[in-house]
Amino acid sequence: MTTRRTPTVSVIIPNWNCAPWLPEAMSSLLRQSSPPQEIIIIDDGSKDNSVAWLNAFAAQHPQVTLLSGERGGVSAARMKGLAVATGDFVYFMDADDFVSTDLFADFRRVQARHDDLDLFCFGAKMFFDLPAAQRQYQSIHQRHVSGLMPGGSASLRTLIQHQSAHRVVWSSIISRRLIDQLQLQFLPIQNHEDAPFMFALYMQARSFYCTSQSYYYKRFMLTSLSQSTRDFSWIKNYFIARGSSEQFLRDHQLPLDEALLDDYYQTVMQGCLSQIRYNHVKVPPEWLPQVNQVVRKVLQRSARHKLLWYCPTVWRGLQACRNRIGRYSARR
């Protein structure tokens, strides 16, 4: 009887000025009950004391590799890490977050039962940047579908219907074989760069496994790039990301399924309307036809966004009331 080889895992972590949060992130990896073989940290031109801390950390832990360079953005940093990673599976993590200590052990237990597994998909919990004793964790990016599924459009539709088709790479451990087979790269943009990457993986995986368990802990900060971007680049990057998914379908001779793409990117499309109305983002004239098409599609589906679009003042008032009620309920 032959013994199956345990798959190796490389964790890839871009870092940019995350010195205050690195100890918690790294501790969560060192305390894994089934640890990753590699932890690859790519410093992306930090101006704080990250590099000094990471150099000392890497000197103490032989499984840690530190790469440094000029500021190039999260996508370029991830690709640098991927270029040197040797694991059978890779996991992309953010430097200001942390993971449950049984993440990789549970992944390996599932993978041992399913030879053709390409994705291990899970949920997350969000917390405000407070001391650990003061935190309250809120479930986000949950997987409401559990079990093994084949890759492809039918399974992706099932995930979408159950609000489980998450577009962020930290919600999955990914087969390196599949990344190489599809020659995937992260787009050089600062928002939505994960979405086309995950779309391709869902579509072409031999199989993926979803669990309702939350393993990722996401730190919420208003200063993060995903929260602080308040200009047209947020909207423009949606079109770039979606265009990349469309090109992926063409390149792999798959149907250009506009309905599937609308469903997959629906939350981002809604975000475009919020950027325009709530954050007063101005749309350049040359982009108006494309933006108007997105507006029409979203308003056909969402009464809430009709209110935002046509009565933004009323919408803001209702949002403020909702937030006050939420704060009052939390104190009770």
In angstroms, what is the C-alpha Rg of the chain? Answer: 20
- Whole-angstrom distance, CA of residue 293 vs CA of residue 164: 26
Instruction: Give the tens place of pLDDT for each residue, 293-328.
Output: 999 999 999 888 898 899 888 877 877 787 666 554
pLDDT at residue number 332: 47
pLDDT at 108: 98
According to DSSP, residue 5 is labeled: P
Q: 201-238, pLDDT tens digit by residue?
A: 999 999 999 999 999 999 998 666 555 567 999 999 99
C-alpha 36/C-alpha 47 separation (Å) is 28
pLDDT at site 300:
93
Q: Are 264 and 156 in contact (CB under 8 A)?
A: yes
**Residues 182, 199: Cα–Cα separation, whole Å:** 12
CA-based angle 40:233:81, to the nearest 5? 10
Q: Amino acid letter at 42?
A: I
Look at the block and give the residue holding tokens 């993060």.
224
Cβ contacts of 296 within 8 Å, gap of 6 or more: none
Rounded to 10°, the helix 50-60/22-30 angle is 20
Count Cβ neighbours within 10 Å for each residue of 65-80 and write b for 16 or more, e otherwise. Answer: bbbbeeebbbbbbbbb
pLDDT of residue 330: 45
Positions of the chain with pLDDT lower than 50, given as ranges: 1, 328-332
Model pLDDT, residue 230 = 76
Q: How remote is the C-alpha of 196 from its chain's centroid? A: 11
Name the token pair of 22.
Answer: 């690195």
Domain ranges of the chain: 9-224, 230-331
Domain 9-224 has CATH 3.90.550.10: yes
Q: Which of 14, 11, 109, 99 is nearest to 61 (CA)?
A: 11
| Measured distance CA(65)–CA(115) in Å, rounded | 29
